[in-house]
Amino acid sequence: MIEPISDLSAGTIGFRVTGELTDADYAEVLAPALKAAASSGEVRLLLVGVEGFDLGSLKARFEAARKDPELDLGHSKDWRRVGVVAEANFFIRRLFPGLAKVIPVEVKLFDPKDEAQARFWVAG
């Protein structure tokens, strides 16, 4: 399940994700929001995982986003930052840089206690 976060800095879009980020979540909520943000300028995205969020489910969605010609992730200079706030064990934290390379955008993983820092970083 994915829900928009409304209290973010101007120019930043964000979502709270519960459980797995599904194909339907991507197609019906995330992709349209990313397309709208990309068409209006710099894209800064915050994803906050809660209640059983599957950090591994991001890889497939990032790959879908990277291949989406309307988002132009491979070439657009309008993409700035993606911040991910989620519980992650040592193994996932070690693998995250590889996951982040799927898209040529600055991506950073934050611990849930650091959500305020993530919001500041994404907006920066």
Tell me the two tokens of residue 84: 């991910």
Sort 121 into a burial class: Cβ within 10 Å, 0-12 / 13-18 / 19+.
middle
Question: What pLDDT score does 69 carry?
Answer: 76
The residues spanned by each domain of the chain are 2-123
Q: What is the pLDDT along the chain (124 residues), one digit of tens a residue?
A: 899 999 998 889 999 999 888 889 888 998 888 888 877 777 899 999 888 887 777 767 777 776 777 766 555 566 788 898 988 764 555 666 665 566 667 888 899 999 999 999 999 8
**Which fold, 2-123?**
Transcription Regulator spoIIAA (3.30.750)
- Pairwise CA distance, residues 124 & 119, whole Å: 9
End-to-end CA distance of the chain: 27
Question: What pLDDT score does 96 carry?
Answer: 61
Buried b (16+ CB within 10 A) or exposed e, 69-107: eebebeeeeebbbbbbbbebeeeeeeebeebbebbebeb
